[in-house]
Amino acid sequence: MRASVSFRVLSVFFLLHAASGGDPLDVELLSEQRVIRPGAAFCLGLHLRHPAGSHSYWQHPGIVGLATQVEWDLPPGIVAGAIQWPAPAVVKMAGNDAQGYEGETLLLIPLTAAAELATKSLTLTAKVSWMCCGASCNPAFKIPFAVTLPVGDAAEPNPASAALFAKFHAQVPKQDPAWQVAVKRQQDIILLSLHAPGHKSLPPCPDGIRFFTADGQVDTSQKQEVSILADGTIQIHLALSKFAPKHPAALPGVVVMPTAGQAGGQSLHLQINPAY
Q: What is the pLDDT of residues 112-164, one digit of tens each?
A: 999 999 999 999 999 999 999 998 999 999 999 999 999 999 999 999 999 99
Average the pLDDT over 250-273 and give the result: 83
Task: Give, rounded to a whole angstrom, the gap between the first and last alpha carbons of the chain.
Answer: 43
Higher pLDDT pick, 197 / 132: 132
Is residue 120 domain-shared with residue 212, that is, in the same domain?
no
Domain region containing 157:
26-169
pLDDT at residue 113, as a whole number: 98
Is residue 175 domain-resident? no
pLDDT confidence band for 79 (50 / 70 / 90): very high
Q: Is the model's pLDDT at 69 over the cut of 60?
A: yes
> Around Cβ 89, how many Cβ atoms within 10 Å?
18
223 and 262 co-located in one domain: yes
Instruction: Classify strands 210-213 and 234-239 as parallel, antiparallel or unpaired.
Output: unpaired
The whole-angstrom distance between residue 40's C-alpha and the CA centroid of its chain comes to 23
C-alpha torsion angle, residues 158, 82, 11, 114 (rounded to 10): 60
Residues 38 and 156 reside in one and the same domain: yes
> 160 and 37 in one domain?
yes
Based on the fold, state whether residues 142 and 57 are members of the same structural domain: yes
Three-state DSSP class for residue 255: strand
Reported as type and span, the H/E element at residue 225 is: strand 225-228
> Which stretches within the chain are classed as H helix?
162-169
Q: Are residues 163 and 37 in the same domain?
A: yes
Q: Is residue 3 part of a domain?
A: no
Task: Determine the pLDDT at residue 91.
Answer: 97
Distance CA 276, CA 274 (A): 7
**Same domain for 259 and 214:** yes
* Residue 240 C-alpha from the chain's centroid: 23
- The reply to whether 52 and 165 lie within a common domain is yes
In a domain, 5, yes or no: no
34-59 pLDDT, tens digit each? 999 999 999 999 999 999 999 999 99
CA atoms within 13 A on the CB side of 233: 12
pLDDT at position 67: 98
Between β-strands 41-49 and 26-31, what pairing exists: parallel, antiparallel or unpaired?
A: antiparallel
Which residue in 132, 125, 123 sits closest to 27, CA to CA? 132
Model pLDDT, residue 11: 23
pLDDT band at 198 (very low <50, low <70, confident <90, very high): confident
pLDDT-derived band of residue 200, with 50, 70 and 90 as boundaries?
A: low
22 pLDDT tier (thresholds 50, 70, 90)? low
pTM, entire model:
0.89
**pLDDT band, residue 203 (cuts 50/70/90):** confident
Residue 6: per-residue pLDDT: 27
The whole-number pLDDT of residue 117 equals 94
Residue 100's closest CA among 65, 134, 73, 53? 65
Are residues 80 and 149 part of one domain?
A: yes
Residues 130 and 215 in one domain: no
What mean pLDDT is reported for the chain?
A: 89
SS3 125: strand
